[in-house]
């Protein structure tokens, strides 16, 4: 009698993916809709929490990750900063601010080193990274020597060390980011309540 061929072997990543598709095929439509709705609720809850933090803190980005070593030893690469940006609070020298400069997409985390107050009450200020040799005038847009309050995204109020390294790894290795998002999405879609 003829023997059947040995089962096909999948690679280390293909096996779980095949299991995922098998699980999806075995779900009835009601279960699938329920899981998709569950996933949508998780995403919308995360967005609502983020928007709530924006309202509470007054900052367009209440949590940021330090991406460089320019603020060492105060903050290290991968530290997670918590920001507020209440417009009534005056900016003071020595304070750590997160600011955006025209022409740059990523905000910068540096310390205020000088304040320049005009007679009309307008305040301009100069920043510098603690680990940098010179001030930030080279980072500002051409012809700009001072920052204004409108440039500030937020002011550092607290931090968690190295928690943001996950974000840095995902930015440095986009394939890892997509794999992680796919695994998380598949888990939420396929998780069944007991």
- At 47-80, the pLDDT tens digits run 999 999 999 999 999 999 999 999 999 999 999 9
Domain ranges of the chain: 16-57, 63-160, 162-193
- What is the average pLDDT score of the chain? 84
Supply the pLDDT for residue 66.
Answer: 94
% the chain with pLDDT above 70: 84
CB-based contact 114:131 (threshold 8 Å): no
List, in order, residues 6 or more apart from 74 with CB less than 8 Å away: 96, 111, 130
Count of Cβ atoms closer than 10 Å to residue 75 Cβ = 22
| CATH node for 63-160 | 2.10.109.10
Q: What is the mean pLDDT of residues 118-137?
A: 91
Tokens of 140: 């500002």
Catalytic residues: 70, 110, 136
Q: What is the mean pLDDT of residues 3-21?
A: 52
Reported as a single tens digit per residue, the pLDDT across 24-48 is 566 677 777 887 888 899 889 999 9
């Amino acid at each position: 009698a003829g023997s059947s061929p040995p089962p096909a072997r999948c690679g280390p990543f293909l096996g779980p993916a095949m299991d995922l598709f098998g699980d999806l095929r075995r779900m009835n439509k009601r279960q699938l809709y329920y899981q998709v709705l569950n996933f949508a609720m998780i995403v919308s809850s995360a967005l609502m929490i983020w928007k709530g933090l924006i309202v509470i803190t007054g900052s367009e980005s209440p949590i940021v990750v330090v991406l460089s070593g320019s603020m060492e030893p105060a903050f290290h690469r991968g530290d997670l900063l918590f920001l507020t940006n209440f417009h009534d609070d005056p900016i003071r020298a020595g304070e750590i601010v997160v600011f955006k400069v025209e022409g740059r997409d990523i905000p910068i985390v540096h310390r205020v080193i000088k304040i320049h107050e005009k007679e009309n009450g307008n305040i301009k200020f100069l920043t510098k990274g603690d680990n940098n040799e010179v001030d930030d005038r080279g980072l500002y847009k051409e012809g700009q020597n001072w920052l204004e309050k409108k440039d500030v995204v937020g002011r550092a109020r607290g931090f968690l060390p190295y928690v943001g390294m996950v974000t840095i790894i995902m930015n440095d290795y986009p394939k890892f980011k997509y794999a992680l998002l796919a695994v998380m999405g598949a888990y939420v879609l396929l998780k069944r309540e007991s």
